[in-house]
């Protein structure tokens, strides 16, 4: 099952034209890449924290142009991608491992660092993949409740790592709450966690944060080589359907994770698109502004409707509906709007992804009908 980081070699451009066809699937991509408008016959998809604007024009062009190597394994392209990511973060390529989305990165971490007798520690509620994989590996999953303001309780999580923890998972910003822990809090946490416990910091939503107190955990890898940071091209870069994630960490930790990587786990199409996206200096600030401004509008609108939201630093927001969300989710589905699932520890909170302004306005109008509130002037 183990594979080295470099595999078979091929020569030529990366990508394949068939990747462009994937972008036409209405349920995978509900909005046009340039206009962001919904497909006329499909639902409004506000349920999976996807980017409604899709890949950048440069990334789309790379998908179509790189049609010469569909029949070749993407080894050279993977090497180029690792080199580009390493350069982007100021590290060497051997400090980077690629994954089929960041979900495979989380799975690799579980395989490498958890198992019988090695606990996996995470918040409750957070993105569930790490705990789900840990259970499959017969690791002992340990959950620590969020603080009253819906943030990771890093003090209690560090305490839970003192005996037999192989991995502790921090999603920052956190999914589904959108909350963050500050750079100072995370630095103190890294100092308290035993060096034998791998600290996996999931920064899938890093690019949306504009809070000055926030800092990437990449900053602490040199001082704490047990820190591994996961990133993805699914969110700000709009490539959720193409699947590419990566981890950055100390060489020893990355090599241990890479043993469990699927062979050729990054397809030629997404590598071409991701290289183009990473080279576009305007992409991230443009997408961040579009989505954060729309999120702010929605928060104001929910307040006007008399509803409470959890302060969010991501491309989604949690709204208190005043009761169990199950019926509310179905009511939106009946109106051809898909919203987030029910989270057992937060049963009254509805997670909604930030779509285009038109999509979010449609959601807000439907919300007022489904969950009538006390309007605030």
Written as six digits, the tokens of 348 are 């009254």
User: H or E stretch including 113?
Assistant: helix 101-113
Spatial separation of the C-alpha atoms in residues 56 and 35, rounded to whole Å: 12
Q: How confident is the model at residue 32, as a pLDDT? A: 44
Residue 11 belongs to a domain: no
Q: How many helices (H) and strands (E) does the chain have?
A: 12, 11
Domain with 213 in it: what CATH number? 3.40.640.10
Q: With a cut of 70, which residues of the chain have pLDDT below it?
A: 1-41, 374-377
Give the residue ranges of DSSP H helices in 147-282. 154-160, 183-192, 251-258, 268-278
DSSP state of 343: B
Strand pairing category for 96-99 and 245-249 = antiparallel
Q: How confident is the model at residue 18, as a pLDDT? A: 31
Strand pairing category for 227-232 and 245-249 = antiparallel
- Radius of gyration for the alpha carbons in the chain, expressed in angstroms and rounded: 21
Burial of 83 (0-12, 13-18, 19+ CB in 10 A): middle
Residue 167 Cα distances to 36, 68, 136, 217, 349, angstroms = 39, 41, 15, 15, 28
Q: How confident is the model at residue 4, as a pLDDT? A: 37
Task: Give residue 266's domain range.
Answer: 72-278
Spatial separation of the C-alpha atoms in residues 361 and 368, rounded to whole Å: 11
Spatial separation of the C-alpha atoms in residues 288 and 281, rounded to whole Å: 12
Cis peptide before 125 (omega within 30 of 0): yes
Residue 54 belongs to a domain: no
Spatial separation of the C-alpha atoms in residues 347 and 325, rounded to whole Å: 6
Spatial separation of the C-alpha atoms in residues 38 and 375, rounded to whole Å: 29
Cis peptide before 148 (omega within 30 of 0): no
Backbone angles phi, psi at 120, to 5 degrees: -115, 120
Residue 313 belongs to a domain: no
Please tell me the total number of residues recorded for the chain in this structure: 377
Quote the number of domains for the chain.
Answer: 1
Residue 134 belongs to a domain: yes
Strand pairing category for 141-145 and 119-124 = parallel
Per-residue model confidence as pLDDT tens digits over 37-80: 445 568 999 999 999 999 999 999 998 887 777 788 899 999 99
């Amino acid at each position: 099952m183990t594979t080295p980081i470099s595999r078979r070699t091929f020569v030529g451009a990366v990508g394949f034209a068939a990747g462009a066809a994937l972008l036409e699937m209405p349920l995978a991509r509900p909005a046009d890449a340039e206009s962001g408008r919904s497909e006329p016959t499909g639902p409004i998809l506000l349920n999976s924290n996807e980017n409604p604007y899709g890949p950048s024009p440069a990334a789309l062009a790379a998908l179509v142009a790189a049609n010469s190597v569909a029949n070749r394994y993407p080894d050279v392209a993977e090497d180029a991608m690792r080199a580009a990511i390493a350069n982007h973060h100021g590290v060497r390529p051997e400090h980077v491992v690629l994954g089929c989305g960041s979900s495979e990165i989380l799975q690799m971490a579980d395989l490498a660092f958890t198992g019988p007798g090695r606990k996996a520690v995470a918040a409750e509620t957070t993105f569930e993949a790490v705990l789900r994989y840990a259970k499959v590996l017969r690791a002992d999953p340990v959950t620590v409740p969020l603080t009253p303001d819906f943030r990771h309780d890093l003090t209690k999580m560090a305490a839970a790592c003192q005996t037999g923890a192989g991995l502790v998972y921090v999603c920052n910003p956190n999914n589904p709450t959108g909350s963050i822990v500050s750079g100072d809090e995370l630095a103190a946490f890294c100092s308290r966690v035993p060096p034998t416990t791998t600290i996996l910091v999931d920064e899938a939503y890093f690019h949306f944060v504009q809070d000055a107190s926030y800092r990437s955990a990449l900053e602490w890898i040199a001082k704490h080589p047990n820190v591994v940071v996961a990133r993805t091209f699914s969110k700000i870069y709009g490539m959720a359907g193409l699947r590419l994630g990566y981890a950055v960490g100390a060489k020893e930790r990355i090599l241990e994770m890479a043993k469990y990587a699927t062979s050729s786990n990054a397809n030629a199409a997404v590598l071409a698109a991701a290289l183009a996206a990473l080279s576009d200096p305007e992409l991230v600030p443009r997408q961040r502004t579009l989505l954060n401004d729309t999120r702010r509008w929605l928060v104001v609108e929910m307040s006007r409707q008399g509803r409470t939201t959890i302060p969010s630093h991501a491309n989604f927001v949690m709204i208190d509906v005043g009761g169990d969300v199950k019926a509310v989710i179905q009511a939106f589905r009946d109106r051809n709007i898909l919203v987030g699932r029910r989270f057992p520890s937060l049963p009254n909170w509805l997670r909604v992804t930030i779509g285009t302004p038109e999509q979010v306005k449609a959601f807000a109008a439907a919300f007022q009908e489904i969950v009538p509130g006390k309007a605030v002037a």
